[in-house]
Structure 1
Amino acid sequence: MRATLALVLAGHEALAALWMHHEMGAFLEEFFSALPGELHEALGDRIGDLRPRWAIGTSRLVARMLSKHIDEFADRDLSLAIGR
């Protein structure tokens, strides 16, 4: 629910409606819940060094990493299925 609201507030109403009842909505709930603590733990006192202009590039990096992870997971599943 919070992820859907965050999407709407960010101007992504269509994505909010599309994702809210799918795995992507559940993923975003977990991601948004975990992100602040993970950033705090990873960056510590360096949080003040973050620049807003880095946000778009960072979001692209995270999206590419997730896409690569999904591809690798699918490839492993396929090779396990073929190997049986």
Structure 2
Amino acid sequence: MIDMGVLGETQTRQELAHLLHTAVERSGRNRCEIAREADIHKDALRRTLIGERSPSVGEALRILASSGMPPHAHMLLFLGAGGDQATRWLQTDIARFFEELICELPAALERVLGNQVHDVKPRWAKGTAHRVARLLADHIDELERKDALLGDIFATTVGGRHD
């Protein structure tokens, strides 16, 4: 059951303002540039960043994009995992990975599952998420092993010949 208290307008506006403010600050760009690129009046941006004004979804996405952040990833993280998680992942490779993942996942599910896409049960989501994370961890471990092996091979090769 969803806790309706965490969906309150004031709390949601403040958490989104914090995410957007942090994104703008970390971008290294001045607010006027971001406002211009995001097509938002500079005063509306200022009021959004301090939580006095709620941005539209489009405005929030444009502010994130103008700040150099993966906009869809951060909005989905904000909606699904909360503002703290979205803020922690600002300017990280995992956020860019998540952006690509969420953009590709619906089409991949339809392509791979075909007609079975309608048989998927919501209760499987948590286990699937853990399985995907484990698969990714195994993939990273395998790549690190291959890099180490290639490094060893490269280190033993001198002038194109093996010692």
Report deviation, 1:12.
Answer: 2.9
* Counterparts of residues 50-69 of structure 1 (less than 5 Å): 50-69=120-139
Report deviation, 1:19.
Answer: 1.3
Q: Does residue 144 of structure 2 align to residue 78 of structure 1?
A: no
TM-score normalized by the length of structure 1: 0.94
Match of 1:30 among 100, 104, 110: 100
Matching residue of 1:17: 87
Indicate if the aligned counterparts of 1:20 and 1:26 stay in contact, CA closer than 8 A. no
Report deviation, 1:83.
Answer: 1.7
Paired AA for residue 106 in structure 2: P
Report deviation, 1:33.
Answer: 0.2
Paired AA for residue 24 in structure 1: I
Task: Name the Cα RMSD after superposition.
Answer: 0.9
- Percent identical residues: 36
Paired AA for residue 152 in structure 2: I
Unaligned runs of 5+ in 2: 1-70, 155-163
Matching residue of 2:38: none
Report deviation, 1:10.
Answer: 1.0
CA–CA distance in structure 1, aligned partners of residues 139 and 75 of structure 2: 27
Runs of 4+ displaced beyond 3 Å:
none
TM-score normalized by the length of structure 2: 0.50
What whole-Å deviation, never above 9, does each CA across 1:36-72 have from its counterpart, x for those lacking one? 0000001111111110000000000000000000000
More helix by percentage: 1
Report deviation, 1:11.
Answer: 3.1
CA–CA distance in structure 2, aligned partners of residues 42 and 25 of structure 1: 24
Unaligned runs of 5+ in 1: none
